[in-house]
Structure 1
Amino acid sequence: MMLFDRSLIRSRRKRCAAYYLHDPFVHHEAEARLMDRIMCINKHFERVVVIGATSTEWRNLPNIGTCIFADLVAERLPQDSSLRLLCDEEWLPFAPHSLDAIISILTLHHLNDCVGALIQMRHALIPDGLMSCVTYGARSLHEVRSALTHAEMQRTGGITPRISPFMEVRDAGALLQRTGYALPVIDSDLLNITYPSLHALLHELRQSGEQNALIERSKSFTAPQLFMDASQYYHEHFSDAEHRLHATIELLFMNGWNPHHTQQQPSRRGSGTQSLRTLLEE
């Protein structure tokens, strides 16, 4: 099922590349938090691909060897790295069992075939290789969604899709299991960001290339009054004492490993030698 206009996403990423590399707070924060998680893994990854990076600090991590940076558009690739790869996240050009780890930073939410992309990543990993990514969770921008929905319902009696659907935590775990990953781990962080106005928030989304890319989005002119109504609703329901608007970003972190016989396995059902009742009585 085709949800997103990938050609539009590509052109927006190209247009916003300068901002993306220098000033996207959310992306930098997501990347830094994922980097911290990778550093805590007690394993060396010799051949690593990082998709969607803004920083070349990945090369300096003590447990990463050769690091290749990949992106959908050349303008978003870190310019101070000689190991750069232009590729579509939905059509990865890696040979089977050629990588120790694949890291993805805020790219999964705009894929039409997330299942296919994750399977391709797993096929590119060596046995016991790591796939680690961060994507937007379902609670992201719920305030914006609520304000725009309310304003549109009041004015037109219906709604059009204006915010991309994001992944639930439970769906992320099921997705990793469905695509064949072992030892899946999912966790999430919440960012609470404030803005002086709805206009400032929407401007930042445009600057980072994260505005609506749904194929079924409304392509007609949106009346300014709708945004004025949405802004009023936003101020009434999601502002603080200083009249700044709060916006939630949920960062969803997903880890999965290409299966290998040395990995920890669950015990066979019925193989326990002690009764739970005995343990509780002790």
Structure 2
Amino acid sequence: MIKYINQTVEYLRERDIGQAEIGIILGTGLGQLVDHIKIEKQISYNHIPYFPTATVEFHKGKLIYGELEGKKVIVMQGRFHVYEGYSLQDVTYPVRIMEKLGIKLLLVSNASGAINLEFKKGELMLIDDHINLQGNSPLAFKGVNKLGERFTDMSEPYDNEINSKFESIAKDLDIKLHKGVYASVVGPQLETRAEYRMLKILGADSVGMSTVPEVIVGNHLNLKVAAVSVLTDECDPDKLKPIDINEIIAMAGKAEPMMIKLFSELIKSL
């Protein structure tokens, strides 16, 4: 993997993607942050050596380099998922590339379903902890110890200092920001009523199909990591209705301005 990483980084540097301070992963329906970036370079994933290709139609599939609130950023406009047929190493490969390009902070966004019924769709949840239900680890491969500590500590996967800044900013902007535990499943099928009940018993406040692999690798690389989830639907097993993916995307888009404000103000404060 080290050889592949070096070749990918060399390719990007040859195309004027330089050092960055912050990496940002934009999830479902949350691609409009790029409109606020002073873009210096953007490259489609399918042109980047060893990068997976985004197959989900609502993920743009571009790597963007530029400036946001005075900071150099690398932005993934669209991410990869295990349910697309990729390995966890494939899904998290871009995080390793961003780290080689200098990032010290990884910010992640996603869309998820609210398990905690006190949380409502259209609201935001700051991820304080997670439950990995993807059945494997992105660190479970030969040679991982050459890239970082094999037995990565996960006692604080989401940086407390950054989370506190997010909470303070949300309060100042009058944005409702819950804090909770995110459960990550494989998908792509949605959960059954029994699975929602199980997730609640396990202590999950929301559920989605991403984020945790990238967060694990971020911690493996000693990056500061923070993640915010847009709650796009309410997962009440006693009142469960069929979910329309288009409604989920629309709800994520509706909440997107709040996410953009949070991320922009956080970056400005650093």
Name the TM-score, length of structure 2 as normaliser. 0.30
Larger Rg: 1 or 2? Answer: 1
Relative contact order higher in (CA < 8 Å, ≥ 6 apart): 2
Name the TM-score, length of structure 1 as normaliser. 0.29
